[in-house]
Amino acid sequence: MNHLFVEREEDLPFAIDYFRVQLGQPPEREMPEEWAAIKRLPLGNVTFSILAICILVFGLGWLLKMTDIYELLMFGPRQRELTFEFIRNGQYWRVITPAFIHFGFLHVLFNLLWWKDLANILENTKGPIFLLAFLLLSAAIPNTLQAVMTGANFGGLSGVVYALLGYLWIYKVVNPKAEYGLPKTDILLMIGWFVLCLFNVFSFGVANWAHGGGLVLGMVAGAVYGFLDRKIISRPEI
């Protein structure tokens, strides 16, 4: 057995990384300060509730093959020409509920991991009512845009996730004193993913109109609220 001796305490992290690599594991990466602050936030009730709803729908619809629940939640019938007959029939939820549908493990995992952290920032800084209103708006507008452009056969929380990304990104740019922000590398990662999907690099279908609509909507909201909050913070006390 090989032995590894560390003379100085400050060299211990490097020694641990070396030992991990020798065992065939990747070296540990230090968590960026932005993420460390985000991870310390308590999980909000709205954030948790949407997580639970998405997991429940995925479990029933995808894992247990109860596809009727997907038909109930989708924007409209999959196999027929898109109409807005459901609105005239009072099925208003269909504008929102496609956000709760996911088509595979990676799909639901990717969206919920981002939702948990990004939505939780909003809930802890702006409150649950603000997050709920943001969710409804950032689901309804991108979902409607996607349906009009491509039809009703889509689902996923990613339009809302991109709206949250756009909001937090531009909010921090406009209001640099904001307590929470995302690392630039993660913003570039998500924008890069959006661009790759936009040019159909991948073989699977992607709701690009929902992603783009959510991103733009979030950026506009982030600019507006960032400006308003900056004005409030900078207002002199009397």
Q: Give the span between the Cα atoms of 85 and 87, in whole angstroms.
A: 5
Local structure of residue 96 (DSSP, 8 states): T
Q: What pLDDT shows up at residue 16?
A: 54
pLDDT band at 37 (very low <50, low <70, confident <90, very high): confident
The dihedral over CA atoms of 158, 160, 163, 167, expressed in degrees to the nearest 10, equals -120
Distance CA 12, CA 135 (A): 45
pLDDT tens digits along 46-63: 999 999 999 999 999 988
**In the structure, what pLDDT confidence band is assigned to residue 13 with cuts at 50, 70 and 90?**
low
* 72-118 tens-digit pLDDT: 999 887 655 666 788 778 889 999 999 999 999 989 999 999 999 99
pLDDT tens-digit profile of 155-187?
999 999 999 999 999 999 999 988 899 989 889
Going along the chain from its start, the domains and CATH numbers come out as 1-30 (no CATH), 33-234 (1.20.1540.10)
Closest CA to 19 of 39, 34, 31, 5: 5
> Which residues are identified as catalytic?
158, 211
**CA proximity to 136, closest of 182, 82, 98:** 98
Q: What pLDDT is recorded for position 1?
A: 46
pTM: 0.83
Mean of the pLDDT values across residues 13-20?
A: 54
Average pLDDT of 178-206? Answer: 85
- Give residues with Cβ within 8 angstroms of 196, minimum separation 6: 202
Q: Which residue has the higher pLDDT, 9 or 53?
A: 53
Q: For 109-159, write each residue's pLDDT tens digit.
A: 999 999 999 999 999 999 999 999 999 999 999 999 999 998 888 999 999
Average pLDDT, the chain: 85
Helix H, strand E, coil C: the string for 107-145 is HHHHHHHHHHHHHHHHHHHHCHHHHHHHHHHHHHHHHHH
Determine the pLDDT at residue 161: 97
Lowest mean pLDDT among 13-17, 143-147, 171-175, 199-203: 13-17
C-alpha distances in angstroms, 173 versus 55, 89, 176, 180, 182? 33, 43, 6, 11, 11
